[in-house]
Every structure is written in structure tokens, then in C-alpha cells.
């Protein structure tokens, strides 16, 4: 049921007073939006979105947060601003929550505390996994800013510009902050007008590759583990990876094959940066080759 | 000769990438017919998805240190264009169940709680809410669990530090439908608490003494909200364990 603006304002006010029925109705109406916020805006995986959902639900359910709503800002603007702030808090909490190593359990299932005579392989593996992740995260920062911006503008539907890139763009194009903001919003809006079946395919393919990336990360962690009673986990992960590639192959065979990563047309990027379209195409190709090298180095 | 072949291969590779970037669908026909073209296509798609994933994670991290009105406006606008009833992914049933159970319980005072999802995809700690106590995820090595057919996480351990001492909670997935909970007290707690009561969905189901080593365990826990209460002569402590099965 679609609520009118007046009904939404009344609902939010009632939630702010802690009315249990109104809060129930609010979550019936908007829980899907809360769950989708980190997925659609920050491209978080569904598992993390679930964790964030519980975090947000626990903080919204008392109704106190609703007292910050001012009707002139618009309901959706208010809701997404609250969720964005919560997401940043959630991320900060996660960063501060360090995993500690303490009790261990031996092969008989008995707990023991002594670790002096045993190197802590898992901590080292965690560090290694972190370094893999940061190597990927650095992939774009190692590319020259002018090429990086072309790549980011090409995939601006998914990516975000950082402060340095915004500054560079403003200087290079002569656009004001407001004009640049309007330009990016306009590109994203035009790319988001996709049909439902295209969106579903995009989600499906993104999920296949996210799983592959996770499995590869897991595989990397498994490499040094030696347990006397351990089955070959490494091989099992490889089987799962192969299955995911097979899924992608089947999607292509089903003629469900198109390019499901939305790219900004070259002419739009060329217009913003005042460079020839051919220059955009060549730069983009070079950047992608460089990124690919990072991933291939990791035996993808 | 070798260098000629290498340069030809490099050119083909460049052409393939160029075609992909142009949105030319022949790359997909090539991928169906030729394994090396499929590998090349997978590498391109994987690199792109990887770059998007890691850049977004980096962006979110960067907001912890530096945010601006422009970035906020862009994110809010992105949310407005990408979130709608038609475009949304459905809310997983276990999250719906969590809300329904929480709303139905209508507690006046919030308890400490652990929220855990389990199922075919393994276990996932969805939330830990422990008031003023410091609760930290623990890294435990459990060969018996690692030995399982699945490679997914099947055990979650948390350390709670309170003024009285510390406790370790461990939840292990026994099978797709059942979990095992153990709680280990440190010595200072053993002197305070001697009994534990277990309730499920507000119904009393089990009571037991806490052994001298401060260890309590419950097996065969199915989906639901469990309340675990430790009692002693002059003290009591309770927490909720919300277990939700993800029926994939």
C-alpha cells in the first residue's frame, strides 16, 4: 500500500512518540528500503546488509530517532540521511571491534589456553587476507588521477569520487560543486532507468562474481593450514569456484548474455572532460588492463 | 616467432577488451564457443566487479575520516534513484522473523542479546547488544568443526568483559536446523552464580547447575528466541540468544 505524504508525516510523528503500532507499520512499509540501502548505495553484500539491518532496526525501534524528522526536508531525504549516518557508525563499530585470539580447542575438543609453543597461524592468515584486500583496494589509487577519473566516470553508477578527485574535476572542467553534483546525479538517473529483468540479471551476475571473489580470498587463507584431521578444504573451495563460473557460462548460453555493468556513454565523459571520445576509450581500456593484471596476479 | 605470437595474442586480448567495453555482444558468442574467450570474459567481469566492490568498501571507510555535504547529497540522490519497491531485493525471511519475534516480545527493558543466523550458508553473527559490557568476537580453532564438509563458518564465539569478570559464549552449528551453545565463566563468576535457567519464547524449558569449572552448555537449539538466566544467592544475569534459520 502506497502511503500519501500526509500519511507518512503522521506515521513518522506517531513513531517519534513511541507508538508501538505505528512503529510496526513503519517497519512493514520501509524495512525493505532499509535492507536495500547499503546494497544499492554502497554495494554491500547481502550478508553485511543483513547485519546492518539488525543494527538499524535496533536503533530505530524505540522511536527516538524519528524526533529528528523535519517535514520540509522530505521523508526519503530524512530516512536515507539517517541510514547513511547509521551505516557510517556501524562501519566504525566494526573497525573498532578487533578480533582477539584467546581460548583454543585441541583435536579432542578440549579447551586450552597456552599458545607459547605454537605459532598463531590464523592471525598471520588474517593479516595476509587483509593485505590481499588492501592490494585490491589500492588497484585504482596506483593509476594516474586523469585515467582514474575516466574509469570512475565510466562506472559512476556504482563508484564514488573522493575529495581529491572532486577537486581535480572542478579544476579541470570549471564546473562548480553544485554543477558537478547535478551532472553526476543526471548520469546516474539516466543509467538507472533499466527494465526489471535487466536489473535481476545484473544482480545475479554481480552475486556470482562476489561469491567467486570471496571464495578466492577464502582459498588464499586456506593455503597454509595444516590440520592432521583436516579434509582438503582448499580443493572444496576450488570446486565451489568452478561451479560459480559454470553458472556464468550457463547464463551466457541462455542468451542472457548482455553487459550487465552499466557504463556511462563515452560521449558524456568526453563532454564533461572536454577530450575526444577516442581518448576516453583508450584510457578506459588501459585502466581495465591494469586492474586485470592485479587480479590475474592473484590467479583469477 | 614466439614474440610474433605473443604480440598477436596481446592484440587479440586488446581487441576482446575493446569489444567488451564497446558493449559488442559478439564477445559473448565467442565466450560460448571458445574456452580462452570465456576465461578472458570472466577475467574482465571479475576485475570490474572486484574494482567496484573494493572501491566501494574503500569509499565507505573514507567516510569515517572525511565526509562532506557533496558526498552526502550524491549518496542520498543515488538512494532515491536506486531504491524503490520495484527495484528492491526482498527482505530475507529470517530478518522478517526477527522483527516479528522482537515486536511480539514487547519487553519493557531491553536484554543483552546475541543475534545469530544459521543454515546452509553457515553461521553469521548479525548483532551483539550488550549494554555497557565490552563484547569482542573471539577466534577459536575447532578442528572438529573444520573437518565438516562445508567450508562455511559454523562457529561463533564472543568474549564479554564485565566488572565482575569475563564470559565466553560459543555457538556451534550442529546441523542445518540445530545449534549448540556453551558459556564459560571465569573463576570470579563461579562464586557468584550456581544455576542456569533456559527459556524459549518465554516458556521455561530447562534448568541446570553450573559446574565447578564454570561451564554450561545446551544442545539441539532450534530457531527461536532463548533467554538464558544465571542465578546465584545474591545475583542474576540474563541474556537473549536469537537464533534464526536461513531456509535457502
Asked if A46 and B92 come within 8 Å (Cβ–Cβ), the reply is yes
Asked if residue A17 belongs to a domain, the reply is yes
Strands B179-185 and B215-221: antiparallel
Asked if A248 and B106 come within 8 Å (Cβ–Cβ), the reply is no
Of the partner residues A44, A155, A230, the one whose CB lies closest to the CB of residue B146:
A230
pLDDT at A233: 62
Asked whether the predicted pLDDT for residue A93 surpasses 90, the reply is no
Q: Looking at the complex, report in whole angstroms how far the Cα of residue A14 sits from the nearest Cα belonging to chain B.
A: 17
Q: Looking at the complex, report in whole angstroms how far the Cα of residue B178 sits from the nearest Cα belonging to chain A.
A: 19
Residues A51 and A84 in one domain: yes
pLDDT at A50: 93
Residues 22-51 of B with CB under 8 A from A: 22-23, 25, 28, 31-32, 38, 41-51
Residues A92 and A127 in one domain: no
Q: Looking at the complex, report in whole angstroms how far the Cα of residue B91 sits from the nearest Cα belonging to chain A.
A: 5
Residues 158-177 of A with CB under 8 A from B: 158-160, 162-163, 166, 177
Rounded to the nearest 5 percent, the helix, strand and coil shares of chain A are: 70, 0, 25
Asked if residue A114 belongs to a domain, the reply is no
**What average pLDDT score do residues A118-136 get?**
50
Give the span between the Cα atoms of A21 and A45, in whole angstroms: 31
ipTM over 0.90: no
A257: Cβ–Cβ under 8 A, 6 or more apart, which residues? A251, B25, B28
Q: Looking at the complex, report in whole angstroms how far the Cα of residue A290 sits from the nearest Cα belonging to chain B.
A: 10
Q: What is the pLDDT of residues A242-281, one digit of tens each?
A: 999 999 999 998 877 777 889 999 999 999 999 999 999 9
Residues 125-164 of A with CB under 8 A from B: 126, 133, 136-137, 139-140, 151, 155, 158-160, 162-163
Asked whether the predicted pLDDT for residue A223 surpasses 60, the reply is no
Give the span between the Cα atoms of B76 and A77, in whole angstroms: 7
Q: Looking at the complex, report in whole angstroms how far the Cα of residue B237 sits from the nearest Cα belonging to chain A.
A: 21
The pTM (predicted TM-score) of the whole model is 0.82
Spatial contact of A67 and B114, defined as CB atoms under 8 Å apart: no
Asked if residue A108 belongs to a domain, the reply is no
Backbone angles phi, psi at A210, to 5 degrees: -65, -40
Q: What CATH number is given to the structural domain containing A92?
A: 1.10.1740
A252/B contact by beta carbon, under 8 A: yes
Q: What is the pLDDT of residues A14-47, one digit of tens each?
A: 999 999 999 999 999 999 999 999 999 999 988 8
| Cα-to-chain-centroid distance, residue A1 | 30
Mean of per-residue pLDDT scores for chain A:
82
Q: Give the residue with greater pLDDT, B8 vs A115.
A: B8
**What average pLDDT score do residues A199-213 get?**
89
Q: Give the residue with greater pLDDT, A210 vs A101.
A: A210
* DSSP state at residue A4: P
Contacts of A181 in chain B (CB under 8 A): 70, 73-74, 77
Q: Which residues span the domain enclosing A86?
A: 5-96
pLDDT at A222: 60
Of the partner residues A92, A139, A257, the one whose CB lies closest to the CB of residue B54:
A139
What residues form DSSP beta bridges with B227? B199, B240
Q: Give the residue with greater pLDDT, B149 vs B189.
A: B189
Q: Looking at the complex, report in whole angstroms how far the Cα of residue B67 sits from the nearest Cα belonging to chain A.
A: 9
Asked whether the predicted pLDDT for residue A169 surpasses 60, the reply is yes
Asked whether the predicted pLDDT for residue A121 surpasses 50, the reply is no
Residues A170 and A244 in one domain: yes
Of the partner residues B48, B68, B86, the one whose CB lies closest to the CB of residue A196:
B86
Give the span between the Cα atoms of A37 and B75, in whole angstroms: 10
Binned at pLDDT 50, 70 and 90, residue B142 comes out as very low
List b or e across B159-169, with b for residues whose CB sees 16 or more CB atoms inside 10 angstroms. bbebebbbbbb
Contacts of B99 in chain A (CB under 8 A): 27, 31, 57
Q: What is the pLDDT of residues B55-97, one digit of tens each?
A: 888 899 899 988 899 999 999 999 999 999 888 999 999 999 8
Q: What is the pLDDT of residues B191-203, one digit of tens each?
A: 788 889 999 877 8
Asked if B72 and A84 come within 8 Å (Cβ–Cβ), the reply is yes
Got the DSSP string for B11-25?
HHHHHHHHHHHHT-T
Residues A48 and A180 in one domain: no
Residues A229 and A282 in one domain: yes
C-alpha cell at B226: 532463548
Binned at pLDDT 50, 70 and 90, residue A60 comes out as very high
Asked if residue A112 belongs to a domain, the reply is no
Q: Give the residue with greater pLDDT, A5 vs A173.
A: A173
Residues A206 and A290 in one domain: yes
Asked if A292 and B73 come within 8 Å (Cβ–Cβ), the reply is no
pLDDT at A300: 40
Residues A155 and A284 in one domain: yes
Residues A145 and A279 in one domain: yes
Strands B124-129 and B134-139: unpaired
Asked if residue A113 belongs to a domain, the reply is no
Asked if A91 and B102 come within 8 Å (Cβ–Cβ), the reply is no
Q: Looking at the complex, report in whole angstroms how far the Cα of residue B81 sits from the nearest Cα belonging to chain A.
A: 6
Asked if residue A223 belongs to a domain, the reply is yes
Give the span between the Cα atoms of B238 and B112, in whole angstroms: 7
Residue B108 CB: number of other CB atoms within 10 A?
A: 4
Strands A100-101 and B203-209: unpaired
Q: What is the pLDDT of residues B109-123, one digit of tens each?
A: 677 888 998 877 778
Residues A90 and A126 in one domain: no
Backbone angles phi, psi at B114, to 5 degrees: -115, 135
**What average pLDDT score do residues B224-232 get?**
89
Residues A48 and A145 in one domain: no
Of the partner residues A87, A253, A285, the one whose CB lies closest to the CB of residue B32:
A253
Residues A166 and A229 in one domain: yes
**Nearest residue to B21 (alpha-carbon basis) of A263, A296, A191, A253:** A263
Report the domain count for chain A: 2
- What percentage of residues in chain B have a pLDDT greater than 70? 83
pLDDT at A170: 95
pLDDT at A161: 92
A299/B contact by beta carbon, under 8 A: no
Q: What is the pLDDT of residues A137-152, one digit of tens each?
A: 677 778 899 999 999 9
Residues A147 and A227 in one domain: yes
Asked if residue A116 belongs to a domain, the reply is no
Amino acid at each position: 500500500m502506497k502511503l500519501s505524504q500526509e500519511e507518512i508525516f503522521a506515521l513518522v510523528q506517531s513513531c517519534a512518540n513511541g507508538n508501538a503500532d505505528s512503529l510496526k507499520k513503519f517497519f512493514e512499509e520501509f524495512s525493505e528500503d532499509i535492507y536495500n540501502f547499503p546494497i544499492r548505495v554502497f554495494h554491500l553484500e547481502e550478508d553485511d546488509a543483513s547485519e546492518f539491518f539488525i543494527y538499524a532496526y535496533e536503533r530505530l525501534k524505540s522511536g527516538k530517532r524519528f524526533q529528528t524528522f523535519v517535514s520540509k526536508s522530505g521523508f526519503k531525504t530524512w530516512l536515507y540521511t539517517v541510514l547513511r549516518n547509521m551505516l557510517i557508525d556501524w562501519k566504525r563499530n566494526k573497525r573498532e571491534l578487533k578480533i582477539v585470539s584467546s581460548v583454543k580447542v585441541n583435536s579432542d575438543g578440549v579447551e586450552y589456553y597456552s599458545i607459547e609453543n605454537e605459532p598463531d597461524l590464523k592471525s598471520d592468515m588474517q593479516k595476509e587476507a587483509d593485505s590481499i584486500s588492501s592490494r585490491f583496494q589500492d588497484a585504482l589509487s596506483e593509476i594516474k588521477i586523469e585515467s582514474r577519473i575516466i574509469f570512475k566516470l565510466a562506472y559512476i553508477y556504482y563508484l564514488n569520487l573522493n575529495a581529491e578527485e572532486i577537486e581535480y574535476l572542478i579544476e579541470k572542467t570549471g564546473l562548480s560543486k553544485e554543477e558537478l553534483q547535478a551532472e553526476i546525479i543526471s548520469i546516474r538517473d539516466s543509467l538507472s532507468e533499466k527494465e526489471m529483468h535487466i536489473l535481476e540479471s545484473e544482480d545475479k551476475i554481480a552475486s556470482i562474481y562476489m561469491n567467486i571473489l570471496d571464495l578466492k580470498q577464502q582459498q588464499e587463507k586456506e593455503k597454509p593450514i595444516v590440520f592432521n584431521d583436516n579434509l582438503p578444504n582448499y580443493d572444496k573451495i576450488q570446486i565451489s569456484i568452478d561451479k560459480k563460473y559454470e553458472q556464468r557460462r550457463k547464463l551466457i548460453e541462455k542468451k542472457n548474455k548482455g553487459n550487465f555493468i552499466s557504463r556511462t556513454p563515452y560521449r558524456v565523459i568526453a563532454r564533461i572532460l572536454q577530450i575526444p571520445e577516442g581518448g576516453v576509450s583508450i584510457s578506459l581500456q588501459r585502466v581495465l588492463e591494469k586492474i586485470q593484471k592485479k587480479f590475474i596476479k592473484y590467479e583469477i | 616467432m614466439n614474440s610474433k605470437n605473443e604480440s598477436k595474442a596481446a592484440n587479440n586480448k586488446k581487441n576482446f577488451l575493446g569489444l567488451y567495453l564497446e558493449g559488442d555482444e559478439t564477445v559473448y558468442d565467442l565466450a560460448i564457443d571458445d574456452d580462452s574467450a570465456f576465461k578472458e570474459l570472466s577475467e574482465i567481469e571479475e576485475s570490474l566487479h572486484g574494482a567496484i566492490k573494493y572501491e566501494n568498501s574503500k569509499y565507505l571507510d573514507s567516510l569515517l575520516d572525511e565526509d562532506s555535504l557533496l558526498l552526502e547529497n550524491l549518496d542520498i540522490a543515488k538512494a532515491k534513484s536506486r531504491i524503490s519497491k520495484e527495484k528492491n531485493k526482498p527482505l530475507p525471511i529470517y530478518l522478517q522473523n526477527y522483527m516479528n519475534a522482537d515486536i511480539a516480545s514487547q519487553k519493557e527493558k531491553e536484554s543483552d542479546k546475541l543475534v545469530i543466523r544459521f543454515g546452509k550458508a553457515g553461521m553469521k553473527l548479525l548483532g551483539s547488544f550488550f549494554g555497557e559490557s565490552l563484547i569482542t568476537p573471539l577466534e577459536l580453532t575447532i578442528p572438529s568443526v573444520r573437518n565438516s564438509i562445508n567450508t562455511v563458518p559454523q562457529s561463533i564465539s564472543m568474549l564479554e568483559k564485565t566488572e565482575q569478570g569475563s564470559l565466553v559464549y560459543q555457538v556451534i552449528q550442529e546441523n542445518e536446523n540445530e545449534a549448540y551453545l556453551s558459556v564459560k565463566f571465569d573463576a570470579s563468576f563461579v562464586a557468584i552464580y550456581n544455576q542456569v535457567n533456559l527459556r524459549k519464547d518465554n516458556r521455561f524449558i530447562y534448568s541446570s547447575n553450573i559446574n565447578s569449572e564454570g561451564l554450561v552448555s545446551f544442545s539441539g537449539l532450534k530457531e527461536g528466541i532463548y533467554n538464558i538466566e544465571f542465578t546465584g544467592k545474591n545475583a542474576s544475569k540474563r541474556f537473549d540468544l536469537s537464533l534464526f534459520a536461513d531456509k535457502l
